[in-house]
Amino acid sequence: MIPVNKPWLDIRERELLLEAMDSGWISGSGEFIQRFEDKWAKVCGRTYGIAVSNGTAALETAVWALDLPEGSEVIMPTFTIISCALALLRNNLIPVFVDADPRTWCMDVNQVAERITTRTSAIMVVHTYGHPVNLQPICELAEKHNIRIIEDASEAHGARFRGKICGGFGAVSCFSFYANKIVTTGEGGMVVCDNAEIAERCRAYRNLGFGRDNRFLHTRLGQNFRLTNLQAAIGCAQIDKLPRALDRKVRIAKTYNELLKEIPDLNLPVQEEWALNVYWVYGIVLGESYSFDALECQRRLRKYGVDTRRFFLGMHEQPVIRDKGFGIGERYPVAERLSRYGIYLPSGIGTTLEDIRRSAEAVRKCLAS
Ligand SMILES: *Cc1c(COP(=O)(O)O)cnc(C)c1O
């Protein structure tokens, strides 16, 4: 079976991991953590980096650090991972959904303006599957209404909007370094920002809300969201490989594009003229002329030895979100279509050219029958 994802780890990760082990610093402090934070903040053009245990924790921490008014509204895409909504719910904020853009699969920026009310405190942007959100209208809205931008660039390491790197746009910007992400630490995440006060709040939240002066005097809530020095060591090696990893991702996408472009009524990933897409995963969406859906397509591809993943199911369709009273009776037709007709193909950094050819050939056969 050709796997959907294969991480790219080699000798450099091993060397740094052993160095971290030998240093004796194996838990949530040690020099690799600082190094990892500094290196990644620099990649993103930011002043501060706060490493945490995963991307979901990064979002929760970042939102907490902004100290938004309790019960205020945050506009977010419905078509995303549950982590985005969890970060809001855990911070007693109201998620307000917008549909996806049918081309980029990111949030439909035209709908954001319509959803702004006097209760809106922030917009959460998510760069879906490696393609940046059209940030210009979002930044203008944020400025005009004095609301914050929370950026989730977990799927878009190294992607760019009009030349500026994703992770550089939010009051707080978040990353996951899960095993299938472009830069990985196995499990891991980070918040980056430019504000010293927000950075300090993130550090406190990550580490049980320890006091600044009297360590064991707690005035704020916290979590144990520490990343280990061992994971950070792997991360340092990974960051150095980012340019090569991005080259590979683009090459994988271009190869698929070439092999699949003749198939009628099949939507492939795009790259808008203002965007640098890093093609975190290579998604395809069946057009309306097909008589079967993504589930059936996935089943057929599995018969050819090709493993795939379904697209997200929108937040407004999630029982756990509806149970909280959000998204009920709302319809987001683009997101609903993407979740029913979209899958992504093997496109991890370790995926070989041969795997891609075989996968593309299997897609062609499955869609023709
Ligand atoms: C992977 C991902 C996360 C969650 O990251 P974890 O490290 O798995 O907690 C959050 N947001 C987006 C957009 C992701 O793709």
Query: Do residues 231 and 282 both lie within one domain?
Result: no
Asked if residue 154 has its Cβ within 6 Å of ligand 1, the reply is yes
Residue 217 sits in the same domain as residue 257: no
**1 found inside a domain:** no
Of 224, 240, 256, the last residue of a domain is: 240
Show which residues are catalytic. Answer: 181
Question: How far is 58 from 202, CA to CA, in rounded Å?
Answer: 9
Q: Which residue is closest in CA terms to ligand 1's atom 5? A: 55
- Give the rounded percent of residues in the chain with a pLDDT score beyond 70: 100
Q: What are phi and psi of 172, to 5 degrees?
A: -135, 140
At residue 367, the 3 state secondary structure works out as helix
Tell me the CA–centroid distance for residue 38 and ligand 1, in Å: 21
pLDDT confidence of 161, banded at 50, 70, 90? very high
- Closest by CA position to 172, among listed 133, 122, 224: 122
- 320 and 192 inside one domain: no
Domain extent at residue 11: 6-240
In angstroms, the CA 344 to CA 269 distance is 10
Query: Are residues 324 and 219 part of one domain?
Result: no
119 shares its domain with 260: no
Which mutation among 155, 176, 180, 315 tests ligand 1's pocket best, with the greatest number of atoms within 8 A of CB? 176
Atom 3 in ligand 1: residue holding the nearest Cα: 55
Work out the mean pLDDT of the chain and round it to a whole number: 96
At 131 the pLDDT is: 98
The SS3 assignment for 360 reads helix
Are both 100 and 228 inside the same structural domain? yes
Among residues 206, 240, 274, the one where a domain terminates is 240
Cβ atoms of residues 298 and 343 within 8 Å: yes
333 exposure class (CB count in 10 Å sphere: 0-12, 13-18, 19+): exposed
CA distances from 236 to 76, 280, 342, 355 (A): 31, 20, 34, 29
Give the CATH number of the domain where residue 260 resides. Answer: 3.90.1150.10
Residue 212 has pLDDT above 90, yes or no: no
97-144 pLDDT, tens per residue? 999 999 999 999 999 999 999 999 999 999 999 999 999 999 999 999
Q: Do the domain assignments include residue 70? A: yes
Q: How far is the CA of 177 from the centre of ligand 1 (A)?
A: 8
Question: Is 217 in the same domain as 259?
Answer: no
pLDDT category of residue 215 using cuts at 50, 70 and 90: confident
Domain endpoint, select from 221, 240, 259: 240
Write the residue with the smallest CA distance to atom 6 of ligand 1.
55
pTM of the model: 0.97
Distance 268 CA to ligand 1 centre (A): 23
Q: Is 54 in the pocket of ligand 1 (CB under 6 A)?
A: yes
Q: CATH number for the domain including 147?
A: 3.40.640.10
CB 360 within 8 A of CB 304: no
Predicted confidence band of residue 14 (pLDDT cuts 50, 70, 90)? very high
- From the CA of 127, give the closest atom in ligand 1: 13
- Domain check: are 216 and 260 in the same one? no
Same domain, 145 and 187: yes
Residue 317 pairs in a beta bridge with none
Quick: pLDDT tens for 35-85: 999 999 999 999 999 999 999 999 999 999 999 999 999 999 999 999 999
What pLDDT is stored for residue 247 in this prediction?
Answer: 97
Query: E strand or H helix at 83, and its extent?
Result: helix 82-90
Q: Are residues 106 and 33 in the same domain?
A: yes
Q: What is the pLDDT of residue 112?
A: 98
Tell me: the pLDDT tens digits for 293-311?
999 999 999 999 999 999 9
pLDDT of residue 125: 98
pLDDT at residue 369, as a whole number: 75
CA-only gyration radius of the chain, Å: 21
Q: Dump pLDDT digits (tens) for 254-279.
A: 999 999 999 999 999 999 999 999 99
Burial of 160 (0-12, 13-18, 19+ CB in 10 A): middle
Q: Are residues 10 and 152 in the same domain?
A: yes
What domain count does the chain have? 2
Q: Whole-angstrom Cα distance, residue 62 to residue 52?
A: 11
Residues 162 and 251 in one domain: no
Average pLDDT over residues 158-181: 98
> How far is it, in rounded angstroms, from Cα 31 to Cα 42?
17
> Does 174 fall in a domain?
yes
Q: Name the more confident of 289 and 211.
A: 289
| C-beta of 176 in contact with ligand 1 (< 6 A) | yes
Ligand 1 centroid, distance to 310 Cα (angstroms): 16
Question: Residue 226: how many CB atoms within 10 A of its CB?
Answer: 18
Cβ–ligand 1 contact at 83 (below 6 Å): yes
Specify the 3-state DSSP secondary structure of 243: helix
Tens of pLDDT, residues 226-242 = 999 999 999 999 999 99
The pLDDT assigned to 216 comes to 86
Buried b (16+ CB within 10 A) or exposed e, 349-358: bebeeebbeb
Residue 350 domain flag: yes
